[in-house]
Structure 1
């Protein structure tokens, strides 16, 4: 039954039978047969289909909620039994907004030192993608913004509040003094994260509040690309202080603080709300709390 629910979840996520089968490492006929057996067991049609995937039926939408819960509980049971017998082991998957990757690396290092038998996979994703991946059971936890988009029912550990820094080439006029007002960026050549990133939406609001038209001549979903762009041309970028310092270290770049315009946005570790959490996930939440203390 569990394997059939896993197949159903894969089809609902991919919206395509072929891609779902590929993600599970099985053939499409095996997947189709499994979905049909699940429908026969439940006595309802879960998926509209003719020559191709046609979406979930109303019964399928309801079943999706239960399937996520049952598969999640089953995985948790396996994790707890493995921890009881072998100690903490297995793998944790964490999706992280690009501007928080340095914090993710610190947390991973501390966690790995305390629990060396647990592997960690860290993925860079947008905040909205992180929430969807948690819901779809693709990742176990995320590091994202806590106060800018609805998170739903999650467990959260605040890590830090963002403060913003202008990254400029050495010698740039804006790098010659102290803190720079946001309004001073009007007319400057900016390279920023892509609009699907929550950090970009925050930066856009800060610029708009200062009367600056928030247009970027270069956009990327990678902070590394943004800093490289500044390094190789007459561009400026705006990044949270921590990641800016890490990426600019040892390079001919200046970090210029931007004047505060209210509190920064909170960033933290989030995980599906569940009592109890799996042992490996509870240990991650505990390590995050220790780190911020």
Structure 2
């Protein structure tokens, strides 16, 4: 049953029989047979079929929720038994919004000192993708915004507040300004993250509320690309000050607080809300509490 539920979850994610079969490492007829056996066992039709995948039935949507719970619990039990015998081992999957990538070492370095048999895969993803990866059991934890857009059913640990600065390497153009308003920041030739990023939606919101037009001259899904363009002196950007500090860029760029308002948005770790949590997720949440810049409440 567990293996059939896992195949069903992959099909729901891939939305294509051939791609799902390849992902599962089976033939397409084997996948179809497993799905029909699952439907026969449950007494309902899970997938709308035609010449190709046409989506889940209402019953299929509900079974998908159960499948995530059952498969997640099965993996948690298996992981806990392995951890009891060998300690924490294997690869930890962490998905992170681009603006928080520079701080991940604060988590992974002390974690691996405690658990030397663990390795990491750190993925740069949008906040929406992070939630989907958690739902599909493809990552252990995510690092994302906690307070700007709705989250699913998750456990969260606040890490720090993201505060925004105008970043430029054209020192003459900015003079000795100690702060700048959002409306004034919009007058610079800005390079910003792409609109699918929540950071960009946050910036758009504050610029719009200040009565400014949002019209960047360059967009990228990479913070490195934004930094390199800022270094030319021909672009400026709006970035979290924590990221600028982490990259030790203060000798090469000027970072000026943006006020009116002095906006703050909360970034933290999220994990699927599941009891009991896997040993590795429990350990990651504990580590996150240890590195949090915020006072516990």
Per the normalisation by structure 1, the TM-score is 0.94
Determine if the alignment matches structure 1 residue 275 to structure 2 residue 275.
yes
Contact 1:142 1:271 in 2 (8 A): yes
Which residue number corresponds to residue 34 of structure 2?
34
Q: Distance in 1 between matches of 2:99 and 2:58?
A: 39
Contact 1:224 1:247 in 2 (8 A): no
SS in 2 for 1:36: helix
Deviation at 1:67, TM superposition (A): 0.7
Deviation sequence 1:104-162 (CA, Å, 0-9, x none)? 22211121111111222111111111111111111121111111111132111100001
Contact 2:76 2:276 in 1 (8 A): no
Deviation sequence 1:149-208 (CA, Å, 0-9, x none)? 111321111000011121101434125332222222243211101111111111112212
Which residue number corresponds to residue 107 of structure 1?
107
Moved more, 137-146 or 36-45: 36-45
Runs of 4+ in 1 over 3 A off after TM superposition: none
SS in 1 for 2:152: coil
Structure 2 unaligned blocks of 5 or more = none
Instruction: Check 1:232–1:262 CA distance in 2 against 1; reply closer, same or farther (3 A cut).
Output: closer
Which residue number corresponds to residue 188 of structure 1?
188
Which residue number corresponds to residue 130 of structure 2?
130
Which residue number corresponds to residue 162 of structure 1?
162
Determine if the alignment matches structure 1 residue 239 to structure 2 residue 239.
yes
Deviation at 1:259, TM superposition (A): 2.5
Structure 1 unaligned blocks of 5 or more = none
Moved more, 29-38 or 241-250: 241-250
Which residue number corresponds to residue 225 of structure 1?
225
Deviation sequence 1:31-68 (CA, Å, 0-9, x none)? 12221222222222211112211111222111111111
Contact 1:5 1:71 in 2 (8 A): yes
SS in 1 for 2:151: coil
RMSD over aligned Cα, in angstroms?
1.7
Q: Distance in 2 between matches of 1:170 and 1:248?
A: 17
Per the normalisation by structure 2, the TM-score is 0.93
Moved more, 152-161 or 37-46: 37-46
Determine if the alignment matches structure 1 residue 78 to structure 2 residue 71.
no
Which residue number corresponds to residue 59 of structure 2?
59
